[in-house]
């Protein structure tokens, strides 16, 4: 059933339900009935040399962004980069889980910044680009003076459909300003924010788990317009903000 919170914030298109638990950093699972098969575990920092056989092919896109490992975290260090992107070769079909934690580092002082993840990407280019092949982008945004029609002022989320590396269109936008009070130093800097997203390529169902739930069991959901998705890549990207990513809660 819809919650009142969901109706107000998500235009009655995302539902709120308790199910599942798990967390990590870009840990990819393929779900099958009655079991989960661990597909890929990304290990960062010192772990890269120790577990290189588990690190998928990955490319930091040229032309925008400054990516690198510091300790056990992956940083995007350029606060001015608008199209910073790292591409990871991950086969995707059916239900998938994407998990990581993200920490704010710098760059929101100008009133704008965002990050997100392209899922079910068919093909990529390893340079800065507006889109990322045929894919869907799940985006979290903060913009005090948005210039794009349909983007709410302040804290919001977007779903984009990319049809090429140069073409990407807004599918839907959600006002999240009722959650803006959660964007505090303690919540976003002192403690990295856990991210967990479940996407079923067969049905188009997307579940975005509530990061304020310690067990990561509650989620909002929506549906992608496309069914039967298959992909070879995932693209993690930022816009006008310095962030770091790692494993764990």
| Residue 19's pLDDT band (cuts 50, 70, 90) | very low
Domains of the chain (ranges plus CATH)?
Answer: 4-246 (2.60.120.560)
| Residue 183's pLDDT band (cuts 50, 70, 90) | confident
Tokens of 15: 């539902």
Chain-centre distance for alpha carbon 211: 13
Angle at 162 between CA 144 and CA 131, to 5 degrees: 70
| Greater model confidence, 162 or 9 | 162
Separation between Cα atoms, residue 151 and residue 154, nearest integer Å: 9
* Phi, psi (rounded to 5 degrees) for 144: -75, -20
Whether pLDDT at 17 is above 60: no
Residues 34-87 pLDDT 10s: 223 223 223 222 222 222 335 578 899 999 999 998 887 899 999 999 999 999
DSSP-assigned letter for residue 47 = H
Residue 93 pLDDT: 95
DSSP-assigned letter for residue 189 = I
Residues 148-157 pLDDT 10s: 999 999 999 9
Residue 7 pLDDT: 29
Separation between Cα atoms, residue 29 and residue 35, nearest integer Å: 10
């Amino acid at each position: 059933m819809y919650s009142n919170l969901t109706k107000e914030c998500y235009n009655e298109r995302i539902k709120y339900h308790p199910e599942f638990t798990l967390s990590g950093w870009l840990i990819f699972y393929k779900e099958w009935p009655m079991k989960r098969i661990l597909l890929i575990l990304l290990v960062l920092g010192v772990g890269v040399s120790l577990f290189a056989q588990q690190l998928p092919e990955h490319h930091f896109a040229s032309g925008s962004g400054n990516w690198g490992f510091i300790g056990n975290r992956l940083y995007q260090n350029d606060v001015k980069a608008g199209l910073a992107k790292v591409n990871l070769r991950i086969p995707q079909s059916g239900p998938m889980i994407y998990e990581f934690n993200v920490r704010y580092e710098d760059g929101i002082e100008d009133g704008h910044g965002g990050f997100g993840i392209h899922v079910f990407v068919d093909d990529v280019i390893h340079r800065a680009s507006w889109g990322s092949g045929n894919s869907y982008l799940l985006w979290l945004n903060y913009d005090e003076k948005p210039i794009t029609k349909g983007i709410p002022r302040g804290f919001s989320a977007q779903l984009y459909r990319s049809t090429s590396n140069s073409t990407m269109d807004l599918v839907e936008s959600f006002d999240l300003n009722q959650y803006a009070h959660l964007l505090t130093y303690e919540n976003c800097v002192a403690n990295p924010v856990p991210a967990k997203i479940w996407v079923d390529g067969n049905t188009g169902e997307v579940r975005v788990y509530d990061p304020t739930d310690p067990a990561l069991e509650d989620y909002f959901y929506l549906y992608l317009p496309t069914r039967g998705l298959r992909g070879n890549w995932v693209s993690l990207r930022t816009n006008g903000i310095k962030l770091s990513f790692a494993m764990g809660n």
